């Protein structure tokens, strides 16, 4: 069973470095792994990847023990589940604007008792059931290793940032600066920068 080195480094207060990919290319993922990146960010909200293509990119990341993270297109349990079952170790959920939305993302990503993720212990995340783990061992492992990343990118999210950041199970709060700027009415750059720092301060 794989461990999430990116999550471990973040918990230890270390810097992690990764890169985003918006089109299907296991070759590029391998290149990033060879260059020593900690994670690959597979953008499936704006990118063109399908589930089977994501799975091939995850396999490429695994060759270098690099953490595969997918930005899903929506905060939906069925959508999040299909990416998790491909083997991604981090889920970035877009447009998180309220505590309830952050809690829903955690529930969809985590198994019992932390969430309600549907179980499939015979797939590639369990190495096809070859490890002899009990369901409880399997659930505990992936609850511990899977990352939940809340993407805050709206005025509402900015106003609710303290509550979003305090949700148990949210490991990272990321910022969608372009959408945030639009939501704020495309103000001067200083206003957007102040909003970004407000979000950062809420996570410290």
Active site residue 46: yes
Q: 129's torsion region: left (phi>0), alpha (psi -120 to 50) or beta?
A: left
CA torsion angle for 8, 117, 125, 30 (degrees, to 10)? -60
DSSP conformational letter for 121: T
Alpha-carbon span 30 to 5, nearest angstrom = 17
- Residues with Cβ within 8 Å of 157's Cβ and at least 6 positions away in sequence, in order, are 95, 96, 97, 98, 164, 180
The strand pairing partners of 147, in sequence order, are 90
Q: Which of 31, 26, 16, 132 lies closest to 87, judged by CA?
A: 26
Helix or strand holding residue 181 (H, E): helix 177-183
Residue labelled with tokens 């985590």 = 110
Q: Copy the structure tokens of residue 170.
A: 């949210």
Catalytic residue among 23, 46, 95, 141: 46
List the catalytic residues. 46
């Amino acid at each position: 069973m794989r461990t999430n080195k990116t999550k471990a480094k973040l918990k230890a207060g270390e810097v992690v470095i990764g890169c985003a990919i918006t089109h299907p290319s296991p070759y590029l993922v391998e290149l990033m792994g060879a260059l020593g990146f900690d994670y690959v960010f597979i953008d499936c909200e704006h990118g063109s990847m399908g589930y089977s293509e994501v799975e091939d990119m995850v396999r490429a990341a695994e060759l270098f023990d690099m953490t595969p993270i997918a930005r899903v297109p929506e905060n939906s349990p069925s959508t999040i589940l299909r990416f998790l079952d491909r083997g991604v170790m981090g889920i970035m959920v877009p447009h998180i604007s309220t505590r309830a939305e952050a809690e829903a993302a955690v529930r969809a990503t985590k198994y019992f008792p932390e969430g309600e993720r549907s179980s499939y212990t015979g797939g590639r995340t369990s190495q096809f059931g070859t490890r002899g783990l009990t369901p409880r061992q399997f659930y505990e492992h992936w609850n511990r290793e899977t990352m939940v990343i809340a993407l805050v990118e709206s005025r509402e999210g900015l106003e609710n940032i303290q509550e979003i950041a305090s949700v148990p199970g949210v490991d990272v709060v990321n910022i969608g600066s372009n959408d945030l700027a639009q939501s704020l009415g495309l103000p001067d750059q200083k206003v957007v920068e102040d909003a970004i720092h407000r979000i950062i301060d809420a996570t410290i």
